[in-house]
Structure 1
Amino acid sequence: MFNVIMRRYDWNDPTGSIEVERMFEFTDSGLAARFMDNGVPALDRLRALPCLFIPEGTHNEVCRVGTVTSARITGNEVRFEYAVDPDVPPLQNAALFALKSQLDMDRHRHNFDWSRNHWAVKDVDLYRFLLRNVNPRRQRPTVFTIPEHQGIEPQLVSVMMPFDAGFGPVYAAIQQASAACNLVTRRADEIWEAPGIIQDVVSLIDRGRIVVCDLTGRNPNVFYEAGIAHTLGREVIIITQSEHDVPFDLRHLRHIRYLNNNEGLAGLAEALQARMQTVLGH
């Protein structure tokens, strides 16, 4: 069995609410009765079930799988907190809607059960459904390794730039901007944690809250590292001394252009600080 909680979600806010009167809508009456105590939803028993957190709609809306970690009735609302399962990738409503009968989410011919806030219970093994129907995970890399679960260090700025003395002042500007945001910077040449440098680089990228990539000079290593950072879903800030050094495939992304002189580096530090504050939500 699993819960369906349909409402609007902000995935950065792990809280929500549903009107009590909408509890057990689109749920078999016998199943709903199993989760009622003296006419009140048995929230502790409901919390033991996995949950599909899904916004209204049947198209490209993003939904997640996880659990309700706490719930209580306050007035005419059930207020709850939730956690998403990091092992299940984000899903799209359209993919689930195409298989709605397997989820027992096809109870109304006008699809009202996909367009109304509610909390339902379905007598379906959600994880078995996902194993059968959701694409398997991609093959894991062999050139380097990444941990099963990400471990982002919230104060870490990982810096990818050429290992060249001429970039020392640039790195100092990045450090200045980071310090102003209460962040710390690290480059791969400052650590030696693995026998191969590629593993240190990937580990540094994977742990970074923000990844700064300097594409100046079209350095192939930095291009490779920027690709890894984007693949891992990190917040990437691109900087360069020349917009022509930004590959065509990345030119649609905003980047910071700077001059490698005192005035230019001061401007770089200022622009980086503003961008970092935006990423951090300050």
Structure 2
Amino acid sequence: MDRRSGCWEAGGATVSLGRYLEYTDDAIAARLSEMTPEVIEQLQGWPALFAYEFSEYDDHNSVVAWVGRITSIQIRGSSARIGCEFDPSVPPLTLRKMLAMLWELDIEYETDRTHWAVKDIDLEAVLRSKGIIGTLPAPVSTPQLAITSETVERALSEVEHLVKTGRGAASALDRIHTALHGYLIQLCVDASLLPVQDEQLSLTAAFKKLREDHPKFSYAGPRPGEVTSALKASSSIIEVLNTLRNNASMAHPNSAIVPEPEAMYLINLARSLLHYVEMKRTTN
């Protein structure tokens, strides 16, 4: 929250580090107090609310806040420069709308003070409950994987967290790529298709090796030509996921990020592919 009108529309604001984590739960503040690269990555991966101090506005129809994400955090002395980007799928929030959901946003007395708080809330759920954004179909669920690794489990857990706790699908692209990549390589190793676990094998190459060399991935049903074409198309999707992960996700400091609808579409496709691979692996 900032007092200076126009800063958020201009792309960001400077906040005193002395006001960082004000009005934040003690447990959350303890985890995020030191601005390490890991903490900065976390903060940039979460949805954010960029607001102005309410006392500067008398008209309840005035726009006072936007939903978006932090694009950059630069530390200089005792200040932090926050870069921001608004989510085009969420309308600007008027003072009237903000006042109507203060409790749900865990906002109390801080509406008239410049500060930076971190809240443990489901921002997307709050916006839906207030009719600010529409109700979307439930995303494809993540399957239960019998064969996995610590890396895969952690990546899938982070995908779930990013998708459920706000508009974080663009950030989750990197994590779903890591999970799918690690899982396919593990299956190749377990089936002796690779002599040792080779993380240098690309995601596309790992899926191709499974599809062509793993005995359980052969297809003997009707219309084999069409089914094979569909499976080959999955390889193209994987290749696209690879490219977007490197050039348009939060995995690297990219200036342009895949928009939320397309990012969620790709995550759902990757989850569907996980379902398919797990079903083939467990079918007798």
TM interval, short-chain normalised: 0.3 to 0.5
TM-score, L = length of structure 2: 0.41
The structure where helix makes up a greater share of residues is 2
Larger CA Rg, structure 1 vs 2: 1
The structure where strand makes up a greater share of residues is 1
